[in-house]
A and B are shown apart, each in its own frame.
Chain A
């Protein structure tokens, strides 16, 4: 089997909670608490979870936009966490990011041309004169007219800004892109346009994506594999078809049921979950989902279930779940 393009092992990103009279660390927010995953070249991994589950922190951590506490990240054969500053700058050409907020992700005082050119200038790609032509090419790939180049971000709608952000991310011909909720701030009719653009880019250029979203429905069409995060940890991970057809973890099942369906005739589902995501100040014992879990057993509160393959017969199984039920 081919070596995966992205390999993350046991990644941990903790923030200290400071308090007390001397403002000393008194605890830690375990935003990402031991997540492992790998992404094959040219494939998309959909990472799903609710706000505060650590999915964005994870995305930023593996690109080293965020201080990482422990773990190992290999992207395109490079040990990302071990690179020195100059090597890291070089490695950035291979890994890029697309952001959620189409308003905050573009510098309001720069023209579109300057924004998309910045990566090319920073890495001194080609001759200066050729870079403008490259900018035009990138804009066209992303479905923008050449005439937009000398305008400013505030003149564009959310969807167009998101395309500009994608053009910037593509500039260095990266092998891997983290897409951090790239469509959740957009209107429905524009969401699908951007999703189609991303899956087109993936096929055209063979880019691997880590697609982060809070919405399982958005991730379905774009992902080869899907992981569900809860409270800083992966609770389930499976090839996309399998996850949607046979979700195992009670949390994944609840997430799927909670999506409002545009089908008025449908028998209304019972509200699948009660309560809220636990607090980092007072993390639950055992399985983090246990206080909200409709099928929790007494032993769930005692120890944390590991992420392990569900089906032992099929070797090697790609469907992993962290639940004592399996």
Chain B
């Protein structure tokens, strides 16, 4: 096990957003998190990546408690995030956005400017343009490339397909085997249940800050997932 959360209870001030969430990730494994809006998926990602801080032992990475560390420190340990809405730096060019991903951690692995451009050739064409001048799908490629540049051991994808055209989503999922070819583990937050079940070897469904269902996709029937996704009333 490379990463796990243990009874994670994240809060925004007085507002409790997560109520004892336990998830775990094996090296090289893809886990996806599904759930409706407000289920706590983004809070979970923010807690793992250190944007939200918690009790130390609530997040454990390679056997070490990291729940209380700031985001900068967690990134340097090898967990990179592709944030919701891409969050590229508008003042930086495409290439600078990629470079900034590696300035504080090069890591050891195959990813550098050259290999990221080989993965997404279109980025190389636009390398000196401002990053936010590109299309949504291309921006998502930059965000993924930027996270890869540090050669992370775990990649977090928050709302990976939100706001993207179906054809772009297919393109990005098609690149996933290459993205994770070095045994990089990934946690993917995905709105599209079918897509999430296809790509992952283990799925967690969240509702109201708790895990309502988990299991390997093959073991989960459609009706069970729907019930866990929308709550018992649905």
Verify that A and B bind, or say they do not.
no
Which residues of chain A have a CB within 8 Å of any CB of chain B? none
B residues with a Cβ closer than 8 A to A are none
